[in-house]
Amino acid sequence: MNPKLEEAFDGLLGVPSWNVKQGHGSFLTFEFGQPSLVIDEVRHHETYPTFPATRSRLVTPRGEWHLWIYCCSWTIRQEGYGLAHSESSREEIEMACRVLAGQALTTVEPVPLTRKAGFIFDLGGILETRGEGYSAEDVSWMLYRPDRLVFSYRHDGCYSFGSPKSNDEWQVLPNAG
């Protein structure tokens, strides 16, 4: 693995994934490490004709590490068999996510020349992302780390690594290709 990726993923490789699921559209999320709860602020909802005004808050379990597969197409395979892709039915995607849940990430292999990246898991699972149909500057995936730094990766092989609120400059990933 290249040195910048080793730095970004230091402490994550070999840690089993959990709560692997499909989000909005074809987004995928993976949690790794010890869980904690993210508790949102109280939201006030307007009064509906059939019941009084309500308040609620969203509570979400989050891992120390959070991988968000974002603007890309993707395919999930297990031991050579295709399980689901970004255009599959929600049921097929849910089944494929269950197969990856519990598998530990062992390798991350971006290949900007082909606009692909591979995430290899210890029990034979592979998640391959592809930037086809997206701009080279679109963010393909993001890794949120326990130290609150974020590693963001684009299809063109550029990355940003720093505070999520900073406007870090994009740099070419060393040895990308």
Tell me how many domains the chain contains: 1
DSSP 8-state secondary structure symbol assigned to residue 16: B
Residue ranges of E strands in 3-57: 17-22, 28-39, 43-45, 54-56
Strands 81-85 and 73-78: what pairing? Answer: antiparallel
Q: For 90-149, how does the pLDDT look when each residue is reduced to its tens digit (9 = 90+)?
A: 999 999 999 999 999 999 998 877 888 999 999 999 999 998 777 878 899 999 999 999
Q: Which residue has the higher pLDDT, 89 or 160?
A: 89
Is 96 a member of any domain? yes
Structural contact between residues 37 and 60, judged by C-beta atoms closer than 8 angstroms:
yes
The pair of three-digit structure tokens given for residue 102, joined into one six-digit string: 């519990």
Q: Average pLDDT of 51-66? A: 86
Look up the domain containing 13 and give its range. 3-172
Percent of the residues in the chain that have a pLDDT greater than 90, as a whole number: 61
Residue 144 included in any domain: yes
> For position 174, what pLDDT does the model report?
64
- Tokens in use for 83? 């399980």
CA distance 168 to 162: 7
